[in-house]
Amino acid sequence: MTHRKTNTKFGTAPVFFTAISTILGAILFLRFGFAVGTVGFWGAILIILLGHMVTIPTALAISEIATNKRVEGGGEYFIISRSFGINIGATIGIALFMSQAISVAFYVIAFTEAFDFVFSYVHDAYGFALSKQAISIPSMMVLAVLILTKGANLGVKALYVVVVILAASLVLFFLGDTAFAAQNDFNIFKAQFRNSGSFFVVFAIIFPAFTGMTAGVGLSGDLKKPSRSIPIGTISATVIGMIIYFFLVYKFAVSASPEDLMGNQLIMRDIAIYGAIAVPLGLAASTISSALGSVMVAPRTLQALAMDRAFPVKPLNNWLARGRKKDGEPFNASLVTVTIAMVFVALGNINSVASIISMFFMVTYGSLCLISFLNHFGSSPAYRPSFRSRWYLSLMGFIVSLWVMFKINTPYALLAFALMTGVYLYMQKIHKNRRGFASIFSNAIFQLNRNLQVYLQKKQTRSKFREWRPSAICISKDSFERDKAFRLLSWIAYKYGFGTYLHRIEGYYSKETRKQSEEELKRLIQKVKGLDSHVYVDTLISPSYTSAIAQAIQIPGIAGMENNMVIFEYGKNDLESLTHILENFALVNAGNFDVIILANHQKKIEYKNGIHLWIKSTDTENANLMILLSFIILGHPDWDKGDIKIFNICKPVEEQETKDKMHELVVSGRLPITANNINIILSDPEISSKQLVNKHSKEAGITMIGFREERIKREKEEVFEGYDQVGTIMFVHSHDQKIID
């Protein structure tokens, strides 16, 4: 999908101001006093806490996802569709668009409340009640004309004015005083929680106050750096908004009686300094800015849906996806948005509209939290966000969203799920070619399968993945003499990869060797039980090393995926074992496996000294695999205090080019390697690379060195000799060049 290009690219400020002005919007001015009056001080505090148990995990989840890969046009829809797949994403995306479009109507309806004095004047002067639609419909028309002619630029410029007015009105409110406050001896420790039976009814009305935190995410396609602007703008607006709401509840509780709070929706006007002017002005500013924010975001969601061919009619998709030629604004999608908003403006019931919005937003927020949780659980090496939430917060956000939906209105919740199921089945029908299993589900299922397999295997029970991750197999007959090969496999398989360890028993398959294998397998399982290992262990009976390797490389991996890596190991002083490994290298290489030859040193591995990678400009095939392996190994708790150091040997004329390439690789790949840990070493004909390794890496925890097949054929064992001052070494051969995206 090719997303539109706009001439204007925004920074972080529009994300923050769009979010904060929507958070501190209509509900704050019109319904928060009602909430405090109905459920009491502690009831209102609980509403804020419960609401933010959904919104804070969602804000963190969005921030996390946005720093893993670029969030293009469509904001939340883009994240959901690219994680769950287009069909599920489009189903949720349609609900999201409707909630955003209805939000426009909600804020316009609320905007009319700022003109309460007009309605009062007409009633007193002429004796009849003026319909709210007399102001809301013309206001909606003006807003529609502005957004259709001026686009997002107008909305962003207006935000700055709105935020100043909003801030001023809030300051005047908090500075205000009342006669009730002078006589009130309010104490938070004696405050009440009233009308608990109405709690979720009030919550449904209040919850849209917190949903503004994602308003700025919809501008993702118009941001210079979404990965920076979305986390900073979204999280800061969410936290600041929550703090202001806490103070707001306290101010209401001390300033007015419950009866006044419930009976006067503009009670803020009676509390604030110059309230007759400040509060209606603040309400007008916040609601119109929120309406602007929603009317900027909703068309971009609809446009992104059309670009993904979410609708059954091709001409409709093409028409909605089309942007205005001069500035890329989604004119056609905006036209549809304002039309839907106009219908709901005509309905005019603010509480009904608020309940509908709450339901749609709960679905969206729950989906975003679930995506974050599944990405954590799936542990894909490709998921490397620079900002990280916590899996338990994301899981909490998902569960609370689902629970609150049913607590607010069970029939509405069931109807919402029924409608979305119908839309999804329809999507499956019209887009049969898009039924691919989304990688986020694959990752989660592979991880679940891996953990189940290991657990069942420890209980004496036994049982194609597109994205690259290591699925390694190691064959060794020295399992009880040294364990570094098993530890290496454990590091690889701890979080990101999969590992199968085969203890080789030399001999022909017989009753005696089978019994021996059962006994040694029990010993091996017992040995690794306390290591928190995610490696599947087994035994292999074979008369020769070659036949053992030939058997092993044909065994499927623990996760059901084919093994793609073979680990050999030998003692650094045991050249005979090295010779056997090299004799079988061609056999393994014929199977398109990556190969690690682990040169075991008796010296203990000092994890705090980190991992040293040695890269040559002539050995680019192995470089990416070595970098990915170091990142994967570093994810193990053993290496908690370690780091990665890269030594790149290049010719003097290639120095700057090599520096630039390494910097780009680390930044674009989101790898935990600092610039200080990248060392460019200029080659010198009089100093061999082995001398350089001995000099710089003699204290390293693990040293990684690449090797090529041609050198094995030509130099054989000499390739691995000469590193006498270095500890344990991983010699790495990549069958093909890995991509770090």
Higher pLDDT, 193 or 459: 193
What string of H, E and C letters represents the secondary structure of 342-364?
A: HHHHHHCCHHHHHHHHHHHHHHH
Nearest of 344, 442, 415, 438 to residue 108 by alpha carbon: 344
d(CA 317, CA 327) in angstroms, rounded, equals 20
Model confidence at 617: pLDDT above 90: no
d(CA 36, CA 54) in angstroms, rounded, equals 20
d(CA 359, CA 204) in angstroms, rounded, equals 8
d(CA 172, CA 278) in angstroms, rounded, equals 7
CATH architecture of 601-741: 3-Layer(aba) Sandwich (3.40)
Model confidence at 612: pLDDT above 90: yes
CB neighbourhood size of 370 (10 A):
22
Per-residue buried b or exposed e for 662-677, using 16+ beta carbons within 10 Å of the residue's own CB: beebbeebbbebeeeb
Check if the beta carbon of residue 103 is closer than 8 Å to that of residue 95.
no
At residue 378, φ and ψ (nearest 5 deg) are: -70, -30
So what's the pLDDT on residue 74? 60
Max distance between CA atoms of the chain, in angstroms, equals 107
Helix, strand, coil share of the chain (percent; to 5):
65, 10, 25
What string of H, E and C letters represents the secondary structure of 581-650?
A: HHHCHHHHHCCCCEEEEEEECCCCCCHHHCEEEEEECCCHHHHHHHHHHHHHHHCCHHHCCCCEEEEEEE
Task: Dump pLDDT digits (tens) for 273-287.
Answer: 988 888 888 888 888
Structure tokens at 495: 């979080």
* Beta-strand relationship, 729-733 and 702-706: parallel
Confidence category of residue 434, pLDDT binned at 50, 70, 90: low
So what's the pLDDT on residue 244? 92
What is the percentage of the chain residues whose pLDDT exceeds 90? 10
1 exposure class (CB count in 10 Å sphere: 0-12, 13-18, 19+)? middle
130 exposure class (CB count in 10 Å sphere: 0-12, 13-18, 19+)? middle
Average pLDDT over residues 351-359: 64
The residues of the chain that CATH labels 1.20.1740.10 are: 12-434
d(CA 358, CA 366) in angstroms, rounded, equals 12
d(CA 423, CA 420) in angstroms, rounded, equals 5
Q: At how many degrees (to 10) do helices 76-84 and 32-66 cross?
A: 50
Task: Dump pLDDT digits (tens) for 545-579.
Answer: 888 888 888 877 665 567 889 999 988 888 888 99
Higher pLDDT, 296 or 159: 296
So what's the pLDDT on residue 402? 86
- Those residues whose C-beta lies under 8 Å from the C-beta of residue 453, and which sit 6 or more positions away, are 463, 536, 558, 559
CB neighbourhood size of 120 (10 A):
11
The residues of the chain that CATH labels 3.40.50.12370 are: 601-741
Higher pLDDT, 457 or 666: 666
Task: Dump pLDDT digits (tens) for 689-705.
Answer: 899 999 999 899 999 99
CATH architecture of 450-592: 3-Layer(aba) Sandwich (3.40)
Nearest of 362, 351, 276, 282 to residue 28 by alpha carbon: 282
128 exposure class (CB count in 10 Å sphere: 0-12, 13-18, 19+)? exposed
Report the amino acid identity of residue 566: V
Average pLDDT over residues 444-468: 62
Check if the beta carbon of residue 706 is closer than 8 Å to that of residue 623.
yes
Confidence category of residue 9, pLDDT binned at 50, 70, 90: low
- Indicate the Cα dihedral angle 257, 258, 264, 265, nearest 10°: 120
Q: Which residue is listed with tokens 């100043």? A: 164
DSSP, res 713 = H
Which residues partner with 567 through β-bridges? 474, 596
So what's the pLDDT on residue 249? 92
Which residues partner with 613 through β-bridges? 646, 704
Average pLDDT over residues 136-141: 84
d(CA 2, CA 4) in angstroms, rounded, equals 7
Q: Assign domain 12-434 one CATH number from 3.40.50.620, 3.40.50.1820, 1.10.645.10, 1.20.1740.10.
A: 1.20.1740.10
Higher pLDDT, 138 or 116: 138
Model confidence at 75: pLDDT above 90: no
Q: Which residue is listed with tokens 């036949």? A: 547
Check if the beta carbon of residue 645 is closer than 8 Å to that of residue 679.
yes
So what's the pLDDT on residue 140? 85
- Those residues whose C-beta lies under 8 Å from the C-beta of residue 150, and which sit 6 or more positions away, are none
Which residues partner with 471 through β-bridges? 498
Nearest of 113, 130, 134 to residue 121 by alpha carbon: 130
Structure tokens at 199: 């709690």
Check if the beta carbon of residue 175 is closer than 8 Å to that of residue 253.
no
Higher pLDDT, 476 or 185: 476
Q: How far is CA 336 from CA 101, 326, 426, 565, 699, in A?
A: 9, 20, 22, 53, 66
Nearest of 504, 499, 502 to residue 472 by alpha carbon: 499
At residue 296, φ and ψ (nearest 5 deg) are: -80, -40
Give pTM, 2 decimals.
0.62
So what's the pLDDT on residue 732? 93
